[in-house]
């Protein structure tokens, strides 16, 4: 019983983390206006932001795989 409760807690924790990381990534993309404005104004800052977004995407892929292995239904998007 305790094991299945821990598994449910893990699923909830991973799902909350996944959703939070998605929000953070989306906020970074929106905040830095990666449509070229920052790239022209400050190429170094743009590149740093791109690295952060790439790292968040990597973490999201890893979490997504964990959640799929736990058979957790992921939100679309």
11 has a pLDDT exceeding 50:
yes
CA 28 → CA 3, 6, 14, 45, distances in Å? 37, 32, 21, 12
pTM over 0.75: no
**Mean pLDDT confidence for 5-30:** 84
Residue 1 DSSP class = -
Hey, where are the domains in the chain?
Answer: 2-67
Taking Cα atoms as reference points, which of 9, 56, 13 lies closest to residue 32?
Answer: 56
Band (47; pLDDT cuts 50, 70, 90): confident
pLDDT band at 58 (very low <50, low <70, confident <90, very high): very high
Sign of the alpha-carbon torsion through 29, 34, 35, 38: positive
Residues 10-23: what's their mean pLDDT?
88
* DSSP letter, residue 42: -
């Amino acid at each position: 019983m305790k094991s299945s409760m821990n598994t449910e807690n893990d699923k909830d924790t991973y799902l909350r983390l996944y959703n939070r990381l998605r929000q953070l990534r989306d906020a970074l993309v929106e905040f830095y206006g990666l449509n070229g404005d920052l790239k022209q104004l400050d190429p170094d800052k743009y590149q740093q932001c791109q690295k952060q977004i790439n790292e968040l995407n990597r973490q999201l892929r890893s979490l997504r795989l964990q959640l799929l292995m736990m058979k957790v239904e992921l939100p679309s998007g």
